[in-house]
Copies of this chain bind each other. A is one copy, B any other.
């Protein structure tokens, strides 16, 4: 298996989008640094109607995971108390629950520690800064903090006049440009871009296997587009985030490596953009307040998130 750096195109893009050292040698959050107070104020000013959208999938055993990715288990919820009269018969009763889940099983953020290549994670740190005892000692998901900024929806399926892109559709910078133009919005520094492929319709329609694979997704050249606009993060409505099977034979997960390792930019997966996209298509407004702080698992290389968009 050739290392990603042996692929010319990957290597060249990697150089151009690399952010190591940009926010100092101690930085652990990468492009989230681009969310300044000004950006947050501008995000708040996007709220016009007060209409809210939930972008997270329900957490349940019948989640999006099919068993294809070892260990990434769907949420298992169970009760540890059920109308329990802890303080005696007739007293007020309590119910309590626990869950076990893959942190990247449902609607989630990939933390910067999720991927390494050439033995390195973001900001030139050694891959073994992640260990079994502590998880990610650098760039753990708990470092992300209160993520809230402007969100912009780029609806690539709608751009192509379909409800769902075909499984082999590679989202390109040209797609992003055209969707941005169609949206009538300019992507700015600190934005989180939500890229809709429509693939989620498979899962919502009950077909987990079709949802998983093959999947349309972001192509190898997209990270440079995001880098040029200095976006804070990108999320979409697929399991794999990037096109899968991959564009280039033998080059697996290049977008992950460019985003997470080179740029230090988090990726969101399994986001449900259907209701939001329908609304954007109707009112023509594609920018909104986006609140999407991950659950702060210490050492997490990813985490569930319950994102909210407000227009």
Contacts and interface: CB of A to CB of B under 8 A. Distances in A.
Interface of A: 1-4, 36-41, 43-45, 47-54, 56-61, 67, 69-73, 75-104, 113-117, 127-128, 130-133, 135-136, 142, 145-148, 252-254, 256-257, 289, 291, 293-302, 304-310
A93 B133 contact: no
B131 A84 contact: yes
Q: How many copies does the complex hold?
A: 4
Q: Which 7 A-B residue pairs are closest in the complex by CB-CB distance?
A: A71-B80, A1-B88, A37-B50, A44-B47, A40-B50, A82-B132, A291-B291
A43 B88 CA distance: 42
Contact of A133 (B84, B101, B133, B293): B84
A298 B59 contact: yes
Contacts of A84: 131-133
Contact of A297 (B75, B299, B307): B75
Contacts of A257: 92
A89 B117 CA distance: 11
B80 A82 contact: no
Given A61-B71, A136-B95, A310 B78 contact: no
Given A44-B50, A84-B131, 14 more contacts: A2-B90, A37-B50, A37-B51, A44-B47, A56-B296, A71-B80, A79-B135, A84-B133, A92-B253, A92-B257, A93-B116, A96-B104, A98-B100, A99-B297
